[in-house]
Amino acid sequence: MAASPITFDPANVWARIESLARHGKHGDTGVSRPVYSPAWRAAQDEVAAWCESVGLDVRWDAVGNIWGVLKGSEADKKSIVTGSHIDSQRPGGRFDGVLGVISGVFALAALKERYGTPKQTLEVVSLCEEESSRFPTTEFWGSRAITGRIKPDDLKNVISYEGESIGEVMQAAGFDPSRVTEAIRTDLDAFIELHIEQGPLLETAGLPVGVVSAITGIRHYIVTVDGVSNHAGAFPMDLRRDPMAGAAEMISNVINRAANQGRPAVTTVGRISAEPNFPAIVPDRVTFMIDARHPDPAARLKLYAEHEAAIHEIAERRGLNVEITDLKGHDPYICDPGLVSTFEEAARTVGAPFQTMTSGAVHDTQRMGAIARGVMLFVRSKDGRSHTPAEYTSPEDAALGIGVLTEGLRTLAYV
């Protein structure tokens, strides 16, 4: 007869969440813990202590990722890794990233206690950075280091909002930037990341758990619309080359295109500026930023192409000049089908109501997917909120998600 699935006490999960939230505490429920700050270091030290307390072999790598290792008996096999990040927005909440790290420690400790040595090595990683809250262009610094995506020039060219280079900040935090390449791993088989959903779909469906089949692609681009500045009263409407009117039509068009394409396509314009920015002047220039996302590779390209075609058509019709400048982008990541199936079955085994779904946010799994099979698990977010001190996931949902993670890791590493 098969052993019953491992379960977790929600009170113990909550205690760990609250304990880690002390580091960088912001108000009653917020956390401000940017990478390489004293609060970040204290949080990583606590994670390392947790790993040591349950008998995992612990090491820090060159950029500050922490690894807790449960060595497997079959040395020729690559490692199965779970984890996430512990840096935060400024401020963010107690759960984003953190829950995935806590889950990994709980899972490996429970598996070690019940089943002993796995066949395949299991590791939990607490990644040093994901949020870009201190350095706007880090682009997943911890997982970039692991996958060999950090270039030597990045150490001086990645600049914080305060004007510091990341190499200088690493040095001040006790890490040698010249050793970044030592963080590279080529021995990983799979990466499994548990995370809060950060959206409303699970809550709307009345489900505590999601198994993620794909992670969205994302494109950030700046649209600069040039017209001719004129007097707001004396210049007739039919003679104007008004970049604000053109930008307004462009913004409405691209947002509506995503809405018409339907879920999971999304397009957001969250930043706009005008020059000059005065109430009685038709501006010379309007600049706005588009955030467009889709997890399907072909549908993503179709959405982007339709956006660009509409922007150029509107500009030409209105006698405006337009320039589109790419800032950054990530390709969609299709999660490994075998891992998706494993964790769907794990959810059934532990009795966790779930749905298979896509992720509208980007995650470290996309980076780690370059060197290992990958999948994500989501747990329900209250009101779909995240990147705010108001984010909340119930300890009961968190404990159930950890149970799914643990059962899936048991299947992968022990069977």
Length of the chain equals 415
Q: Do 278 and 201 share a structural domain?
A: no
Q: Do 199 and 91 share a structural domain?
A: yes
Helices of type H across 187-336: 201-205, 243-261, 297-318
Q: What does the pLDDT read at residue 415? A: 94
User: 3 in a domain, yes or no?
Assistant: no
Q: What is the CATH number of the domain that holds 302?
A: 3.30.70.360
Q: What does the pLDDT read at residue 1? A: 47
Q: What does the pLDDT read at residue 2? A: 62
Q: Do 207 and 224 share a structural domain?
A: no
User: 312 in a domain, yes or no?
Assistant: yes
Q: Specify the 3-state DSSP secondary structure of 399.
A: helix
Q: Do 261 and 140 share a structural domain?
A: no
Q: Do 244 and 145 share a structural domain?
A: no
User: 4 in a domain, yes or no?
Assistant: no
Domain finish residue from 273, 307, 330: 330
Q: Do 147 and 244 share a structural domain?
A: no
Q: What is the CATH number of the domain that holds 179?
A: 3.40.630.10
Q: Do 311 and 384 share a structural domain?
A: no
Q: Do 343 and 201 share a structural domain?
A: yes
Residue listed under structure tokens 């300890």: 395
Q: What does the pLDDT read at residue 3? A: 83
Q: Do 254 and 162 share a structural domain?
A: no
- Which H/E stretch holds residue 352? none
Say what the pTM is: 0.94
Amino acid identity, residue 368? M
Q: How many domains does the chain have?
A: 2
Mean pLDDT in consecutive groups of 10 residues from the start of the chain, 415 residues: 87 98 97 98 98 98 98 97 98 97 98 98 98 95 98 97 97 97 98 98 98 97 97 96 98 97 96 97 98 96 96 98 93 97 98 98 96 98 96 98 98 97
User: 1 in a domain, yes or no?
Assistant: no
User: 113 in a domain, yes or no?
Assistant: yes
Domain finish residue from 267, 295, 330: 330
User: 2 in a domain, yes or no?
Assistant: no
**Nearest one of 281, 285, 292 to 246, comparing CA atoms:** 285
Asked if 59 and 126 touch (Cβ cutoff 8 Å), the reply is no
Q: Do 242 and 163 share a structural domain?
A: no
Domain finish residue from 291, 311, 330: 330
> Which conformational region is residue 27 in: left (phi greater than 0), alpha (psi within -120 to 50 degrees), or beta?
left
Range of the domain at 378: 10-215+332-414
Q: Do 152 and 209 share a structural domain?
A: yes
User: 310 in a domain, yes or no?
Assistant: yes
Q: What does the pLDDT read at residue 66? A: 98
Cα–chain center distance at 154: 20
User: 5 in a domain, yes or no?
Assistant: no
**Nearest one of 336, 339, 340, 374 to 357, comparing CA atoms:** 340
Q: Do 180 and 325 share a structural domain?
A: no
**Nearest one of 320, 117, 97, 351 to 227, comparing CA atoms:** 320
